[in-house]
Structure 1
Amino acid sequence: MQLGLKNDEVRLESYTPEWKDEFIKVKKELMEYTKLEDYRIEHIGSTAITGMSAKPLIDIVVGVDDLQEVDKPLLKSFSKAGFLRLRVERPGEIVLA
C-alpha cells in the first residue's frame, strides 16, 4: 500500500481495508506518545468509508477540551510520533502532517 500524493498529483484508489489497518496503527502510536484517550482520536474522510474510492491519505482528527490549552509538550509528543505542525491558519484548528 502506498499512501500520499506527489505535488500537483490527483489520484483516487479503490477502497482497501489496509487504510483502516494503517489508521489503527497510527492511533496506537499517537496514544502511546501523547497519552490521549482512545475516544479522542478518530479516522475521518473518504478513506474511513468502507467501499469508497479515495485519495490515498489517512485523515485523522484529535479532539481536545480547549484548543487554547494545547501546550508545547503535547505538540512535542505529536512530533515524536512523526507529526509536525503546519503553518496553516484555520479558525478552531491546529493542522499537523
Structure 2
Amino acid sequence: MTVFYPLDTARLRLQVDEKIKSSSTPAVLAKIIREEGLLAVYRSWFSVISSLCCSNLIYFYTFNALKETWVKGQSSTNSKDLTMGFISGT
C-alpha cells in the first residue's frame, strides 16, 4: 500500500481537481511533487493504513473464529470457507 499510495493520490486528484488536465500518471505525480512537495503524495497515508490494519485484523479473527466454531475438526470445504469469508467481510 505504501508503494502504490501515490498512484491513488494521482487518481483522486484527476477525479476531483478540475485544474489538472487529463495526462499521464507520472506527469500528474510530477506536478503534485513540484507544486506541493514530496510529502503531498503521501498525505493522509497514516489514516488509510490504520483503517486497513484494523479492518484486516477484525476480518482475520472473525474468519478464524467462525472456522473454529463451524468446522470443529471436520475437513473444510470451499463453500464453507467462502460463506465464512462472506460473513466475516460483512
> Which structure has the bigger radius of gyration?
2
Higher strand share: 1
TM-score range, shorter chain: under 0.3
Higher helix share: 2
| Higher RCO (CA-CA < 8 Å; seq separation 6+) | 1
